[in-house]
Amino acid sequence: MKKLGLSEWAAVAEIAGTIGVVISLLMVVYSLNQNTIAISGQGVNDIYDGYREMQLAMIENPEMVMITKRGMADFDSLSESDQELYKLYVAMNLDLWDRMTTREREGLISPETSEAWHAFFREWTSRNVSRALWEQEKWGWPGAWFQQQVEAQLTH
The pLDDT value given to residue 113: 82
The pLDDT value given to residue 82: 93
What is the DSSP secondary-structure string of the chain? -PPP-HHHHHHHHHHHHHHHHHHHHHHHHHHHHHHHHHHHHHHHHHHHHHHHHHHHHHHH-HHHHHHHHHHHHHGGGS-HHHHHHHHHHHHHHHHHHHHHHHHHHTTSS-HHHHHHHHHHHHHHHHHH--HHHHHHHGGG---HHHHHHHHTT---
Residue ranges of the chain whose pLDDT lies below 50: none
The pLDDT value given to residue 37: 61
* Other Cβ atoms within 10 Å of 67 Cβ, number: 21
The pLDDT value given to residue 38: 61
Determine contact, residues 130/78, Cβ cutoff 8 Å.
no
pTM of the full structure: 0.71
